Amino acid sequence: MQRIEAREKVTGAARYAYEHPREDAAYGWIVGATIARGEIISIDAAQALAAPGLIAVLTHENAPEVHPVADHELAVLQSPAVAYRGEIVAAVVAESAEAAREAATLVRIDYAESGHDVLLRADHPKLYKPDVVNPSFPTDTAVGDFDAAFGDADVQVDVTYTTAATHNNPMEPHATIAVWEAGAVTLYDSTQGAPAARDTIADVLGLERSQVRVISPHVGGGFGSKGTPRPHVVLAALCAKVCGRPVKLAVTRQQMFDITGYRTPTIQRLRLGSDREGRMSAIGHDVVEQTSTVREFAEQTATATRIMYAAPNRRTSHRLAALDVPTPSWMRAPGECPGMFALESAIDELASACGVDPIELRARNEPDADPETGKPFSSRNLVACLQEGAARFGWAERDPTPAARREGRWLIGTGVAASTYPAYQRPSGAFARAKPGGRFEVGVGAADIGTGARTVLTQIAADTLGVDTDAVEVRIGDSALPTAPVAGGSAGTASWGSAVVGACRALSLALEEGSGAEGEVQATYDTGPDLEARADYARHAFGAQFAEVRVDVDSGEVRLARMLGVFAAGRILNPLTARSQLIGGMTMGFSMALLEESSMDTEFGNFLNHDLAQYHVPVNADVGDIEVAWVDEHDEHLNPMGSKGIGEIGIVGAAAAVANAVFHATGTRFRDLPIRPDRVLATLGEDL
C-alpha cells in the first residue's frame, strides 16, 4: 500500500509545524551565545527595541520563570551563565521573520569569558562512570574472567576505533508556533511524540496536562533529534506569553548544530580473544564519550556487544567526560550504530588474523541464548541473513586477499557486517470508533516522521476490522488523542499497532453485541497490562550488510558501488515502506562511514561546519546500487502483528561493512570515521 498522505506531501498541502496559518502571528528569532563558557555581564537591547517592527526582546533579565525539570536545557533564559557556544541567551520577536532576524543582530551582549574544554580524549581527567546509560542500561557489565581469558587466547585483537560527532539533519528544521488562550497553550510543533512533548512542556511551564496541547500532523524527519522537546519549544511559549500573540519560531540550520542534539563522538577499545579457528573466549568493549555540563546524556554504545556473540568471558564499560559543549542526544540507533561499527570492524580483524571467512567466523560464535543474561531469544536469524546475503551478493566469488582487485586507478573491495536492534514495545493507548456509512475512525497519539506510520496503522486497523483500508481514517499527531510513546527506538509500529489491534478487536466485539446501535460505537484499549504479562525473552531484530567500494588511488576518494542488506525483522507489514526505511538507514550508515563529521573548533568551542554546505550528507550521485531483502521470520513472542522495528536496524552495521570493504580494497585498516580522502592518501603506498 502506498503512503496515504503522499499526494498531500508532493503537492505542498501537508502542513508542517511552521506552516499552520495564523494571520495574527509574530515571529521569533534566537540569539545564541558567542562564547563557549562564561557569564553574561550586560545586555543592551536599545538598538534592537528601536528597530522597525520590533515587539519584544527576551533575556534572562525579563523572561518569565519556568519550573525546574530534569532536562536543564529547557531552563531557557533563566540564568546569565553560558555553558556552550550557541546556547540561547536572548530572543527577539517582531512583526516579520526578516525584522526579527535583523533586530537580533542589534542586541549587544557583553560576557565574562572563562576557559573552555571541548575536546574529548581517552585520558581526559574528568572521565567518570555514569549511573546508567541511555535509557536505563547498566553502565558496565562483566561475565567470567575477561583479563585471564584474553591473556591466554591464541589469537588476540586489541584495537581502538573512533567515530566523529555527527548531527541529525532532518529536512524540516525544528520549529514551533505557540498560541496562548485562556491560560492554556497550544503548540504546533515538529515533534516525534506529541503526548510526551505535552507532558514535558506542562512540567516546565507549571501547567496541568489539560492546559497544554501539542499538534504535529506532519513531521519532516527527526532521526531522534525531535524525540524530546528542545529549548526552542519553551522559548516559543515564553515569547508568545510575553507578547500576548501567537509566535512562530524556527531554528535555523546553523542553530540546529547547537541546540537540537547530535551523536557524541566515541573512542572505543575492542579486545577479542579466540582460538586459532576463531572461536572467541573473551570479548571486551570499553567506550569513552562526551556529554555537556548542562545535562547528562550517556549513549549506550557497548550494549549491542552484550548480545551479539558467544564468549564465556566478557566485559563492557562506558565512561563520560562532561565538556563545555552542546548536549548530545538521540540520533538514529543511538548506541548500536557507533558500537556496532567498532565491534563488527574488530570481528573482521579477528577473521583476518585467524584466516577464517568473516561470515564463517560469525557463525562459529553464534550464541544459543543471550550471552550475558541467559534469556532465550524470541527469534534469532542472524546466520540466515548472512547466508542469504552471501548468496545474493556473490560472496563465494570473492578473493579474500586484500588489494587484489584493481581496475585502472580504482581498487575494489567487498565487506560484510552484522546488524542488530532491540525489538522494543512500549505501553500505548488507542481508540476505534464506528461511524455511519460503514466507516471507522482510529485515534492514537502516534507520530509520522516520514516512516509511513499513518499507512501501516491504517492497514493494521483495516485488517483487524475486516474492512477495506478506504473505510478507515487514522488520526495521529495530536496530544489530545490517546497517550502513546514517541516515534523512537524502532518501537512505533509495535507499540501503536498493538493498541490499535486491541481497540479494533474491542470495537468489533461491541458491534457484534449490538452496543450503541443507535449512535457511534467506540472502544478504547491500553496495552500496559499486556506488556506486564509478557514472557521474559531477549527480543531483537538482526541483519547482515554487504558493501562493495571503489577506492581511487590518485585522489583517495572512496565510492560506494553497491550495497545489500538482508534483515530478519519479524513480519514485514508493508514491503514498500519497509524497503524505503531500510534503504534510508543504510544510506545514513555509509554516510557515517565516508562523509559525516562535525568538526570542533577548539579555540572558539563550536562546530565549524555547521551547515549543509560543509557538513556532508549523501546526495543521489553518492548513492550506488542499494538493495534490501528480508528472511521470513515468524516470532510468536512479539505483538499481535508479529513485527519488529525496522526504522533503525538499517543504519546499524552499515558503516562497518563499508570500512571492511575499504580494508579489503586497500589492505589498510581505517579505524577512524569518516574515511576521508586525506586519510586514505596518507596510508596508500606510492607503488599503488
Cβ partners under 8 Å of residue 679, min gap 6: 556, 670, 672
Among 580, 600, 13, which residue's Cα sits nearest to residue 321? 600
What angle separates helix 575-594 from helix 654-666, to the nearest 10 degrees? 50
Sheet holding 155-163, edge to edge: 141-143, 313-323, 280-292, 266-274, 155-163
Taking the C-alpha atoms of residue 175 and residue 191, their distance in angstroms, rounded to an integer, is 9
Cβ partners under 8 Å of residue 564, min gap 6: 389, 392, 393, 545, 546, 547, 626, 627, 628, 629
Q: Is 327 buried (19+), middle (13-18) or exposed (0-12) by CB count in 10 A? A: buried
Three-point CA angle 272, 274, 280, nearest 5°: 75
Residue 677 grid coordinates: 580522502
Q: Where are the alpha helices (DSSP H) in 228-281?
A: 231-243, 253-259
Q: Where are the alpha helices (DSSP H) in 355-483?
A: 358-364, 382-393, 453-465
Residue with the three cell numbers 511551564:
205
Catalytic annotation, residues? 648
- In degrees rounded to 5, what are phi and psi of residue 153? -70, 145
Taking the C-alpha atoms of residue 499 and residue 432, their distance in angstroms, rounded to an integer, is 10
- In degrees rounded to 5, what are phi and psi of residue 553? -70, -20
Cβ partners under 8 Å of residue 371, min gap 6: 143, 306, 307, 308, 309, 310, 311, 314
Cβ partners under 8 Å of residue 341, min gap 6: 161, 163, 592, 593, 653, 655, 656, 659, 673
Residue 427 near residue 495, CB atoms below 8 Å = yes
Within a 13 Å sphere around the CA of 367, how many CA atoms are in the beta-carbon half? 21
Residue 411 near residue 403, CB atoms below 8 Å = yes
- CA 633 to the chain's CA centroid: 25
What is the rounded radius of gyration, in angstroms, for the C-alpha atoms of the chain? 26
Taking the C-alpha atoms of residue 434 and residue 442, their distance in angstroms, rounded to an integer, is 9
